Amino acid sequence: MSYARSMKPLFYIILLNAVGAALISISGGARSPEALVLTGAICVVSIICYTVVSFAGFGDPYLFLIISMLGSVGGIMQLRIRTAYGVRQLKWFLLGTACYFLAMLIFLAMRKILPRLTPLYVGVSVALYAATLVFGRTSHGSRNWIVIGGDNGLSIQPSELIRIFFVLTLAAIFTAQPDKNSKKKKKADGDKPFGLRPNAARLLSASAVTAVNLGFLLLQREWGIALLFFATYFFFIYVYGASRGYLLLNAAAAVGVGAVSLKYMGHIQTRVEAWLNPFADASGKGYQITQSLFAIGEGGFVGRGIGEGSVYFIPEVHSDFIFSAICEEMGILGGFAIVMLYFVLTYRGFKIALACTNRFNKAVAFGLSLMLGLQSFIIIGGVTKMIPLTGITLPFISYGGSSMLTTFAAYGILQAISALKEETTDEL
Amino acid sequence: MGEILSKILTYIFVIIIYLFIYAIIRMIYFDIRAMNRKKSGGLADAYLKLINLRRDLDFNIDESYELEDDEVIGRGAKCTLRLPDKYLSVRHCRIYKADGSFFIEDLDSTNGTFLNGDELGDEAVELIDGDKISIGRLNFIFVMPKGVDE
Amino acid sequence: MNSNKKIVVTLVFMCALFFSVFIYLTYFQLFKADDLVSSNYNRRLWEKEESVLRGSILDRGGLVLAESEVENGSQKRVYPYGSLYAHVIGYNTRSYGKTNLELSFNDYLLKTESLTEIIQYGMDMGTENGELKRGCDLITTIDHDLMRTAASAMNGRNGAVVAIVPSTGEVVCLYSGPSFDPNEDELVKNWADLSEDENSPFLPRATKGLYAPGSTFKIAVAAAALENGYDDFTVDDEGSVKIDGRVFRNAGGSEYGEIGLREGFKHSSNVFFSRLGVELGAETLKKAAEDFMITKKIPFDIETSASAWSYGSDMGKTELASVGIGQGKLLTTPLNMAVVAAAVANDGIMMKPYLVQSVVSPNGVSVYEAEPEAFGRVAPAVVTDALGDYMLACVESGTGVNARIRGIDVAGKTGTAQNEREGRDHAWFVGFAPKDDPQIAVAVFQEYSGSSGGAACAPIARKIMQQWLEG
């Protein structure tokens, strides 16, 4: 683009880290020099990456800025909750930055063959699911962790990585060039009422892939990710030409599965009950959500101050419930700011998809930005009792390495696609 | 004391996030505006056409810029037409429309504004189709296809 | 491209999702959060409460009516006078929450310092030796001696005694019976019995009990008559009158002959006032009730019930007659009737009643000071003067003679209100003294008393007024 880039956003990121560091040190207790060094490192990395992206022509300069901002807020909140979490989170962030550019470079290098790798995506996904089921460890009712190297070893949540493969699979399916065979078939069966529109084969294979994914996820009781996958799939088939009838059929199927699981699976029943009436069993089933709501309510509009809230009453405060802690200490105005950051990030992703001319890249950009936007909505809506709570992480803010690295990689791909777009417009 | 201090710092913390969002949205807004300018070529009354070779410049610039009724050209963020040439002043010159004609006016720029090779003085000068405007390292041709009035 | 259009639709949908979070959270914070955070499951509340030694509640003379003690590291609320103040101060428990003053002044009781003190001395005072910071103390307008007198005079009967200083609105006595022991141990022990007790000990009768005002409402009717030029209205009282087929009788069937407003008021003639009610009409009666706040909720330092006027603009003659004598679909609280008496005593200006005089920080700095505040004028001074005369006559030689105090002019009005229990009328007495320089206004109420206001309530009002004027 054709004008000097403003340095203001960078300045704000640095300022925010400085204020955050001051807050952490006055809130008593945790004064870790390591944490200070790491927040400084975040600032330096933000400056470098922004400059590199802007001047090396890697496309959209906003993505990384917004991610830095979210990561900084997340780092400060983690430090405030527990220094050890914060330090590890900031390290994950730095590592994530590397993932970001790595994913970008890989995507750029392989962009010609990526659309043809559908079987690979499905295969890797299934392998990861199988590995989770065999070696997995159950935590909070979901069997979704693989631990490598004993109790203190590395914990990986494969479903976080599968998110990317899922989007790649759908994108590849929907943008596949019909081969000669299927063309002939189309002509031959053109007048029959079912399955014979040009898109039908794609829709059906997309549905099949999604069904496989959902099946595994439900086995692992990963309801959050299952919901996320279904919503992503649903919008995919909407954008890529499913008829109204097919959309309705899918919605009905989802409702059906939901109803059946509501009836026969205690796990789901509990969640819905806790959503409808958390106070019926506020010390049991409704404990998480009520504690979360108390935190948000006590925070009011402007919050109790970072370090002044009683966030340790909220269960899982460092991961799924981090948004409640943000609302308690920064108020819902602080919460709004976070939601707006996610919105701007999602908007940028959609913008990249819209500007993109390559069909496969467009679908990938659309899918990734849609999925990550939905993910932040699902968990924010969940902890505020807007929608039933399903455990899922808040991108860049929740504690966790798998989530951080894979989300970074996903946005790295978006960055690559935006760079490609610039390339093409310049050529034109 | 700590309670109030951390409250105040928290307010600042949140305000910084909002300022950040504002800055980003502003940048995006300028982006979209620049893109729209590029797209809707030929519809406006007049435009500036770049005559430098783009590869000679070490920064990104478009081939042409449509002129709206009042444009301030310069390096600064508040300019309606921002050009990243470091030889430009923050607010370099202004092109505006009055009575159907376009006028150019220097805004006390350091390196001056040149019209057909002559440096502009304090007064605004009317532009005619085909005039050459030079600012910083950039040379433009002023194009007004429809002509003036009549 | 078609897919671009659908991508934009999806983006709009995402936009709507995020926007709905804003709306939901704002709604949650504005309308839900306050109720929610006061839930017993909110551990923040205990945390906050345990970090501050809850302030004490004192009577107007500085006598401690409620205080907190630390016992084994946790706080305990102690009410030395047991059930006497349960309907004024309320209780403060983890199991059942808070009520009355403990609820409405909770923030003050937990407030550790005033803004001026923060500026003057800086923060974090009084935390040396690991002692808890103290919350602010409430100084109420209640007179403990009057409360004890009221309690002993009511002698366990269900009802209420309210006494107000007419010129300011200070509530010096607010007795409701029956009551219960608000100390947490006792409350936990007796909760089940108390909630099922058919005498409803949890009902604060003075502020939340709703009853027909009976003849005490004639004060408002008489005020309306005087204001609207019915000074000369007379009725030939033959002991009973038939209005639209319904018979209205005087108490005891007495006949008073040709009487005017003054005589009718003094003897509380139902014949006179039912005829007057019909004469005045719906609009005037409603306005009189409105002026005396008998259609509204009295704003007060603790929760009150709204008095009820359940008529539309269209009222039949029998309805008008019923309202004229304070029956019918008309309900009010003892507090409301005390405010009515105080307004008549205060030359027609109704003062807002209040219960908390001031809130004082542990260092003696006042953080809240009640200011006497007028609701407005209920009637011109000429009218209330005349009412005062009628009420004086009522005590001197009418139904209220039992309230007479030697050497002091007492003004008053009795009331006996029929209700759903046959033969168990509610008894009322409202009044003030001394008539020419009123120092105190009272309302005494006995629920299902079965005897007349003059017999059951006037003597109690007399004791209260006498004690206040002597004290």
Please provide the DSSP assignment of C264-331 as one string. Answer: HHHTT-HHHHHHHHHHHHHHHHHHHHHHTTTTSBPP-SS--PBPEE---S---HHHHHHHHTT-SSEE
Binned at pLDDT 50, 70 and 90, residue A5 comes out as: low
CA separation for the pair A201, A182 (Å, rounded): 9
Residues of A in contact with B11 (CB under 8 A): 302
| Residues paired with residue B65 on neighbouring β-strands, in sequence order | B48
**Percent of the residues in chain C that have a pLDDT greater than 90, as a whole number:** 56
pLDDT computed for residue C128 by the predictor:
45
Q: How far is B105 from chain A (nearest CA, A)?
A: 22
CA separation for the pair A114, A110 (Å, rounded): 6
Q: How far is A109 from chain C (nearest CA, A)?
A: 26
Binned at pLDDT 50, 70 and 90, residue A39 comes out as: confident
Residues of B in contact with C122 (CB under 8 A): 1
Q: Where do the domains of chain A lie? A: 115-419
Give phi and psi for C376, each to the nearest 5. Answer: 145, -175
Cross-chain residue pair C8–A297, CB shorter than 8 Å: no
pTM equals 0.64
CA separation for the pair A411, C64 (Å, rounded): 66
CA separation for the pair A63, A412 (Å, rounded): 9
Cross-chain residue pair A334–B17, CB shorter than 8 Å: yes
Residue-wise pLDDT for C180-211, tens only, equals 999 988 888 888 888 888 888 999 999 999 99
Closest A-chain CA to B59: A2
Binned at pLDDT 50, 70 and 90, residue A278 comes out as: confident
pLDDT computed for residue B111 by the predictor:
87
Q: How far is A82 from chain C (nearest CA, A)?
A: 19
Closest C-chain CA to B3: C123
| Fold type of domain C208-356+374-470 | Beta-lactamase (3.40.710)
Give phi and psi for C302, each to the nearest 5. Answer: -125, 170
Tokens of C112: 């550790």
Helix A62-81 and helix A8-26, axial crossing angle in degrees, nearest 10: 0
| Residue C13 near residue A234 (C-beta atoms within 8 A) | no
Binned at pLDDT 50, 70 and 90, residue A374 comes out as: very high
Q: Where do the domains of chain C lie? A: 208-356+374-470
A313, A346, A384 ranked by CB distance to C24: nearest? A384
Strand (E) or helix (H) holding A108: helix A83-110
With a cut of 60, say whether residue A30 has pLDDT above it.
Answer: no
| A171 part of contact set with chain C, CB < 8 Å | no
Strand, helix or coil for residue C211 = strand
| Residues paired with residue B113 on neighbouring β-strands, in sequence order | B135
Closest B-chain CA to A18: B13
Residue of C24 and B84 predicted with greater confidence: C24
Cross-chain residue pair B82–A3, CB shorter than 8 Å: yes
Interface test with B, best of C123, C127, C133 (most B CBs within 10 A): C123
Give phi and psi for C213, each to the nearest 5. Answer: -75, -15
pLDDT computed for residue B44 by the predictor:
61
| C24 part of contact set with chain A, CB < 8 Å | yes
With a cut of 50, say whether residue B24 has pLDDT above it.
Answer: yes
B6, B75, B84 ranked by CB distance to A307: nearest? B6
Q: What share of chain A is helix, strand, coil (3-state, %, to 5)?
A: 75, 5, 25
Strand (E) or helix (H) holding A180: helix A180-189
Bond from prior residue into A178 cis (ω within 30 degrees of 0) = no
DSSP character at residue C297: B
The predicted model gives B115-141 an average pLDDT of 88
Residue of A148 and B27 predicted with greater confidence: B27
Question: Exposure of B40 by Cβ count < 10 A (0-12 exposed, 13-18 middle, 19+ buried)?
Answer: exposed
Pairing of strands B81-82, B93-98: unpaired
A335, A354, A373 ranked by CB distance to C7: nearest? A354
CA separation for the pair B144, C143 (Å, rounded): 91
Q: What is the largest CA-CA distance in chain C?
A: 100
| A386 part of contact set with chain C, CB < 8 Å | yes
Q: What is chain C's mean pLDDT, rounded?
A: 89
Tokens of C128: 């040396």
CA separation for the pair C243, C373 (Å, rounded): 42
CA separation for the pair A315, B90 (Å, rounded): 53
With a cut of 60, say whether residue C120 has pLDDT above it.
Answer: no
Residues of A in contact with C34 (CB under 8 A): 297
Closest B-chain CA to C124: B1
pLDDT computed for residue B40 by the predictor:
53
Lowest mean pLDDT among A60-69, B43-52, C363-372: B43-52
With a cut of 90, say whether residue C74 has pLDDT above it.
Answer: no
Residue-wise pLDDT for A179-233, tens only, equals 545 444 444 444 444 444 557 888 888 999 999 999 998 888 888 899 999 999 9
The predicted model gives B10-35 an average pLDDT of 85
pLDDT computed for residue C115 by the predictor:
60
Bond from prior residue into C434 cis (ω within 30 degrees of 0) = yes
pLDDT computed for residue A195 by the predictor:
42
CA separation for the pair C457, C471 (Å, rounded): 21
A28, A304, A341 ranked by CB distance to B21: nearest? A341
| B24 part of contact set with chain A, CB < 8 Å | yes
B9, B23, B62 ranked by CB distance to A6: nearest? B23
Residue-wise pLDDT for C222-251, tens only, equals 999 999 988 889 999 988 899 888 899 888
Residues of B in contact with A15 (CB under 8 A): 16
| C16 part of contact set with chain A, CB < 8 Å | no
pLDDT computed for residue A338 by the predictor:
96
pLDDT computed for residue C130 by the predictor:
54
Residue-wise pLDDT for C284-319, tens only, equals 999 999 999 988 899 999 999 999 888 887 888 899
Within a 13 Å sphere around the CA of C328, how many CA atoms are in the beta-carbon half? 25
